[in-house]
Structure 1
Amino acid sequence: MALIVVSVFSVWLAVRLTPPQQVSVGGQSVRLSVTGPWADWTGPGTLALFGRDIPTAVTFHGPLRPRLALTEIRFGRELDELVREPDGSLAEVGRRLAEGWFRYALWQSVIAAGVALVILVAVAVLKRLPVRSAVALACTGLVLVSGLSATGYLVLANDTPKVLRSVDSLEDLVGRAPPARLPPPEGPVAQDVRLVVLGDSTAAGAGNRPLDDATAEDRACRRSSDAFSEYLERLHGRRVLSLACAGATIKDGLLGTRTVGGMTVPPQLSELRRAPEASAITVSIGANDVRWAALTRLCTTQPRCGDRATDTFFDAQLARFSLDYRELLRHLAALPGPPRVVVTEYYDPFGEQADCLSKEGITPDKARVLRSYLADLNAVLREGAEAAGFPTARPDFAGHGLCTSHPYVRGPAEQAPLHPTATGQLAIALAVQRALLEPPPALASTR
């Protein structure tokens, strides 16, 4: 009985100690490990995309299932097409994943055996067993733990290698969706533009002074003469084209048309092609995708913020955003050139002081919860950008939160609450400028 307890404990500990196995194929790098045990016998595995766990599109039989963490992205035909042997009999992606699974299982068994051996040797020493008895105890334990590990994988994850071999592309794990078809650009070609700004109301500068000679689209999108794109134009001394639009999401604004102010605004990725000489692009997106404004309003009206229901809702929105963000990164990586892409993270509007917001329904505890949501969103933005080889810009609003004497964000009673003031937009411009001047990440040169 004692040997069985030692074996079970060794296998349990080994599952937690075994390092993920690195698998590289089709321009992707994946760390493969095990998740579970799950209560149900059949279900999806886990795909860790930009730090968020989402269920795989394929299902597995058994309570132990694979966990695949996507760590590097190189977009291209090798990701979309089936990579086969010359006779077309075996998918390279599936074979590599199955090999990684077997390597993990082998390492887990070896580590389990090592843990069991250490425990049994310690028991033999403490009990002062004769050498022959100690050796017999160790051998019996090793056989038992090895058999338990092998049986566990055969019984609890019996069809995992077969399912992994059936994967033609990592797209099978995420779930195949038709790529967004971008219409041709509608406006005139802007040959003198060197930098293009894409994004939402933060990038548009909503709440600040309107543009001089603003078009109907500028007014609908709430573009401002104090937006960070205007500061970047002055810093660069070259024209900057802002396509940012208030309320934009990846699907509704960047990759798809957006209806706002009674007019239809074309996809920002389409209009980007009006600037063929642009050498840099900044992207500020995500807050609308995860419904940040709705979460903020919910926190102001509820006695507390950050309960299980709210957390579950936010996690679901962030997981969905991770998939949309991956599609956006694919389009950005496929741009000719390619231009330098900088992803802008979001600023902290509250800072460490939030006492002045109590009358608005935001207590210091609620502000901490909202900051944690922003931190999770920024982590997805950062990890996705790093995986694609893009730098990120993190605006520094430290010491200039809402309750300070010189806030960088607009108050709850102002137009476009929690959006950057003109000074806050300047801080964003400086962060973007620093990112543009930094050496490009190593991956960016090998995409």
Structure 2
Amino acid sequence: MCVAAVVAFFGVVVMQAGPASAGSRSWEYVALGDSYAAGVGAPPYDPAGGDCLRSPLNYAHVWAAEHPRVTLTDVTCSGAATDDVEAEQLSALSRRTKLVTLTIGGNDDSGFSRTLNACLGGTDAQCEAATQAGADYATNVLAGDLEALYTEVKQLAPRARVVVLNYPQLIDQGTGSCGAITPSSYRRGLIAGQIAALDAAISTATSQARVKLVDVRPDFVGHEACSADPWILGTNVASQTEWFHPNPAGHAAYGAALEAAIG
């Protein structure tokens, strides 16, 4: 099996929540980010979004459905990196925006796509090199880039609450099957180390930029890919673009975490 095209890990047409209830005044929520924000792993996807693979089950829609006064503008896109958010998504923001959510960083510098290609289809040495490069990039470059992006979001939407949701650990550290390709325990540990560095960079950036961080990692403990009760998809040959993304239960968990954090 060719693994090189396995993952475009993290992919602008607007999707909206239902209209505000009669007699109420709506307020604007803008969702930004990559495939974890877009809802990859929870089809069917909105045809209007094309390759962005936006799902009506993503956490922005899950949360907005519980808040009928909200008008949601969803510009998330599978494959997006930090530069893509800046170039293609920030135009959705304005002084009218009252809430912004964002999950981004996993695609930067080829990010986790490169790691999965190496760790699922390469040698131990290639997996080691990819995960170390990803962790180093997160620590030395990405944290600063994210801080700058969060700061720009605040400037463009000065009246908005800015909320960043991070990434869960993706793969159970046991020996359970992941599907078509199951990485060894050693490689799972390497992948976990890179994810930890990515989340540390996000934590540092949110603290420096003074925006709210919603840490979803505790919610996914015991529900990683390859576990007995996964909320993250494994390596199903029929849906390679969805590998190691949340399934509908995982996206619901993201929505619940957002609701618990901000009401």
Cα distance in structure 1, aligned partners of 2:67 and 2:172: 30
Cα distance in structure 2, aligned partners of 1:209 and 1:313: 32
Change (3 A) 1:220 1:359: closer
> 1:399 is matched with which residue?
222
Cα contact 1:305–1:369 (8 A) shared by 2: no
Q: TM-score, normalised by structure 2?
A: 0.80
Cα distance in structure 2, aligned partners of 1:300 and 1:210: 27
Cα contact 2:166–2:202 (8 A) shared by 1: yes
2:256 pairs with 1:430 = yes
Q: In the TM superposition, what whole-angstrom CA distance separates every residue of 1:350-373 from its partner, at most 9, and x where no partner exists?
A: 133343138615111111111110
> 2:105 is matched with which residue?
286
Matches of residues 237-256 of structure 1 in structure 2 within 5 Å? Answer: 237=68, 238-252=70-84, 254-256=85-87
Higher RCO structure, 1 or 2 (CA under 8 Å, sep 6+): 2
Unaligned runs of 5+ in 1: 1-184, 257-266, 438-447
2:89 pairs with 1:225 = no
Matches of residues 15-94 of structure 1 in structure 2 within 5 Å? Answer: none
Q: SS state of the match for residue 356, structure 1?
A: coil
Cα distance in structure 1, aligned partners of 2:132 and 2:250: 31
Which amino acid letter does the alignment assign opposite residue 78 of structure 2?
A
> 2:120 is matched with which residue?
300
> 2:245 is matched with which residue?
419
Change (3 A) 1:294 1:419: same
Which amino acid letter does the alignment assign opposite residue 407 of structure 1?
P
Q: SS state of the match for residue 177, structure 2?
A: helix
Which amino acid letter does the alignment assign opposite residue 209 of structure 1?
P
Cα distance in structure 2, aligned partners of 1:199 and 1:193: 20
> 1:365 is matched with which residue?
186
CA RMSD of aligned residues (A): 2.8
Cα contact 1:342–1:435 (8 A) shared by 2: no
Cα distance in structure 1, aligned partners of 2:175 and 2:101: 30
Change (3 A) 1:209 1:311: closer
Q: In the TM superposition, what whole-angstrom CA distance separates every residue of 1:308-350 from its partner, at most 9, and x where no partner exists?
A: 6435522453223233213202202213433111111101121
Q: In the TM superposition, what whole-angstrom CA distance separates every residue of 1:288-316 from its partner, at most 9, and x where no partner exists?
A: 01411111110122332587643552245
Cα contact 1:350–1:401 (8 A) shared by 2: yes
Change (3 A) 1:248 1:431: same
Q: SS state of the match for residue 229, structure 1?
A: helix
> 1:340 is matched with which residue?
161
Could you say which structure has the higher strand fraction?
A: 1
2:180 pairs with 1:349 = no
Which amino acid letter does the alignment assign opposite residue 52 of structure 2?
C
Q: SS state of the match for residue 93, structure 2?
A: helix
Cα distance in structure 1, aligned partners of 2:45 and 2:135: 37
Unaligned runs of 5+ in 2: 1-11, 20-24
Q: In the TM superposition, what whole-angstrom CA distance separates every residue of 1:157-198 from its partner, at most 9, and x where no partner exists?
A: xxxxxxxxxxxxxxxxxxxxxxxxxxxx998xx994532110
Change (3 A) 1:211 1:309: closer
Q: SS state of the match for residue 387, structure 1?
A: helix
Structure showing greater Rg: 1
Cα distance in structure 1, aligned partners of 2:13 and 2:80: 18
Cα distance in structure 2, aligned partners of 1:411 and 1:434: 27
Q: In the TM superposition, what whole-angstrom CA distance separates every residue of 1:346-401 from its partner, at most 9, and x where no partner exists?
A: 01121333431386151111111111100110011011101221111122111112
Which amino acid letter does the alignment assign opposite residue 411 of structure 1?
G
Q: TM-score, normalised by structure 1?
A: 0.49
Cα distance in structure 1, aligned partners of 2:246 and 2:179: 21
Cα contact 2:32–2:74 (8 A) shared by 1: yes
Q: SS state of the match for residue 61, structure 2?
A: helix
